[in-house]
Amino acid sequence: MAVEPNGVQVEHPGRRELARRWGRLVSGRPGSVRRPIAFLVAAVIISGLVSPSFLSPGNAAALLTSTSFLVVLAVGEALVIMVGMIDLGVESVLAASGMLVAWLYVFHGWATVPAVAATLGTGAAVGVVAGLLVSRVRIPSFIVTLGTYWGFRGIALLFNGGNYINPDSVKPPRPFGFAAIAGESGGVSHLIVVALIVVVLAQLIVSYTPLGSWLKATGSSEEAARAVGLRTPVVKVGVFAVSGLLAALAGVMITAWQDSIYPLTGQGYSLEAIAAVILGGIPFTGGRGTVVGAAVGALTIGVINDMIVLLALPSLYQYIFVAVILILAGLQARGSLFVK
C-alpha cells in the first residue's frame, strides 16, 4: 500500500505479481512466438558477451547458412508435431536423399532437374508411407519413424558401399549441377533464401488456409475433428509427406553446401529438430503453435552450436546447453517459471 501525492491510497503489485506479469508478457498466449524470440535474444546476447567475434557479419552469415538445413527440417517436424505426432526419421531421410541425388547425378549421369525431382519425390513418398502406417494401420508414429530412422540410415550406407560421394568419385569429375543452391547472390547465401521461403510459405498455409485449421483441430482433439467431418487420416498423411519432402530438400541443400555427402551426414538432426519445435512453443500434444516459432527455435540451437565452436568447447556441451534450455522452455510453458 502506498500513498499518492493527492492523498489517495493505492495498492502496488508485489514482486510475485510483477514476476507473473513479466512472464505473461514474455511468453504471450500459448503457442506465441514471444517465448522463442526471448530465448533467441538471450542466446545471442550471451554469445556476444562471451565471444565478441560472434557478432561479426561474417560469423552471422555463416551461422544462418549452416543452420538453414535444421530450419527446413524443423518446419516439417513442426507440422507433424502440430497434429500430435512425431517424426524421428528426418535425419536419416536427409542423409539418404543426399546420397540418392549425388548417386543419380554422379554415377548415373542424370541431369540436375530429374535427379533433384526424383529425390524430392522419394522423400515425399517415404512420408506418405509413414503417414499411412500411422493413420490407417494405426502404428504409433514413434515406432513408424523409429523404423524410418534405422531403415534409411542403412539405405544411406548402401549407396556407394558406405563411402562418401563427391564430384571426384568418377573420372573425369562431374561437378554437381545443383551446386547453385549453395551459391550466393548479393552476398546472401541461397540456402538462407530457400530456408526463409520454406518458413514463410508454411506459416502462410498454417495461418491463412483451411489446412492450418485442420492441423490444429486434429492436434487439439482428433475425435472432435472427425465429428465435424475432417478427414484426419488425410491430414496425417499430408504432414508426414511434407516432412519427408523437406527432409529430402535439406539433403539436397547440405550436399550442395558440402560439395559431397556422407552416409552419416546429419547425425543428431532429428532430436535437434524436435528440440527446435519445443523451443518454438509447439507442445508435444499438438493443437497450437507457429512455424516461425519452430524456425526461431532452430536458430537458437544454431547459436548455441556456434558459440561452442567459437569457444573451442567439446561438442558434448551442445547437448547440455540445449537440455537446459528445453527444461526452461518446458517449465515456462506449463506455467512453472515466473508465474507459479
The pLDDT of residue 281 is 87
The pLDDT of residue 55 is 87
Omega before residue 172 within 30° of 0, cis: yes
d(CA 4, CA 10): 7
- Sorted by sequence, the CB contacts under 8 Å of residue 161 that are 6+ apart come out as none
Q: What are phi and psi of 144, to 5 degrees?
A: -60, -50
Give me the residue label for grid cell 541431369.
111
d(CA 234, CA 332): 33
136 touches 75 (CB < 8 A): no
The pLDDT of residue 7 is 55
The pLDDT of residue 19 is 47
- Sorted by sequence, the CB contacts under 8 Å of residue 265 that are 6+ apart come out as 94, 95, 98, 156, 251, 254, 258
At 197 the three-state DSSP class reads helix
Of 88-97, 162-171, 180-189, 224-233, the range with the lowest mean pLDDT is 224-233
Q: What are phi and psi of 103, to 5 degrees?
A: -65, -45
332 touches 326 (CB < 8 A): no
- Sorted by sequence, the CB contacts under 8 Å of residue 44 that are 6+ apart come out as 54, 303
- Sorted by sequence, the CB contacts under 8 Å of residue 159 that are 6+ apart come out as 96, 99, 100, 102, 103, 165, 263
Which grid cell sits at 232?
484426419
Query: Is residue 4 very low, low, confident or very high in pLDDT (cuts 50, 70, 90)?
Result: very low
- pLDDT score of 59 more than 60: yes
Higher local confidence (pLDDT), 217 or 26: 217
Q: What are phi and psi of 261, to 5 degrees?
A: -145, 135
The pLDDT of residue 53 is 87
Amino acid at 17: E
β pairing state of 184-185 and 188-189: antiparallel
The pLDDT of residue 149 is 95
The pLDDT of residue 66 is 94
Question: The whole model's pTM is what?
Answer: 0.87
Instruction: List helix spans (H) across the chain.
Output: 15-27, 34-50, 57-82, 90-102, 108, 112-135, 141-158, 190-208, 210-220, 222-227, 232-258, 269-279, 291-310, 316-333
State mean pLDDT over 296-315.
Answer: 88
d(CA 89, CA 145): 5
Q: Which residues of 254-281 are buried (b: 16+ CB within 10 A; e: fewer)?
A: bbbbeebbbbebbeebbebbbbbbbbbb
The pLDDT of residue 51 is 86
- pLDDT score of 105 more than 90: yes
- Sorted by sequence, the CB contacts under 8 Å of residue 38 that are 6+ apart come out as 26, 27
State mean pLDDT over 265-292.
Answer: 90
d(CA 22, CA 29): 13
The pLDDT of residue 322 is 72
d(CA 239, CA 121): 15
The pLDDT of residue 334 is 56
- pLDDT score of 283 more than 50: yes
Angle between helices 90-102 and 269-279 (to 10 degrees): 130
Query: Is residue 14 very low, low, confident or very high in pLDDT (cuts 50, 70, 90)?
Result: low
Give pLDDT tens digits for 107-164: 999 999 999 999 999 999 999 999 999 999 999 999 999 999 999 999 999 998 889 9
- pLDDT score of 332 more than 90: no
Query: Is residue 269 very low, low, confident or very high in pLDDT (cuts 50, 70, 90)?
Result: very high
